Amino acid sequence: MLTEKTFIDLIEPLADGQIQVRQADVVYRDGVEMGRTFTRWVLSPGDDLAEQPPEVKAFANSLWSS
């Protein structure tokens, strides 16, 4: 049976206050990983976080409010 899992596997601050986010999309066959792809995006202070996953919002709010 094929299954997929999508999750944020990396959130890192960049030197200029931006945040780089990496999302992993993993395909499993009978519980064994068959493939993995990544999607990356960068957020800047002041960007709208409404569509971001909760862990990205929390990180951004913590970084940008300090």
Domain boundaries, the chain: 2-64
Mean pLDDT (the chain) is 96
Q: Cα 59–24–39 angle (5° rounding)?
A: 80
pLDDT tens per residue, range 3-54: 999 999 999 999 999 999 999 999 999 999 999 999 999 999 999 999 999 9
Q: What is the pTM of this model?
A: 0.87
Task: Sheet containing 2-13: give its strands across.
Answer: 2-13, 19-29, 32-43
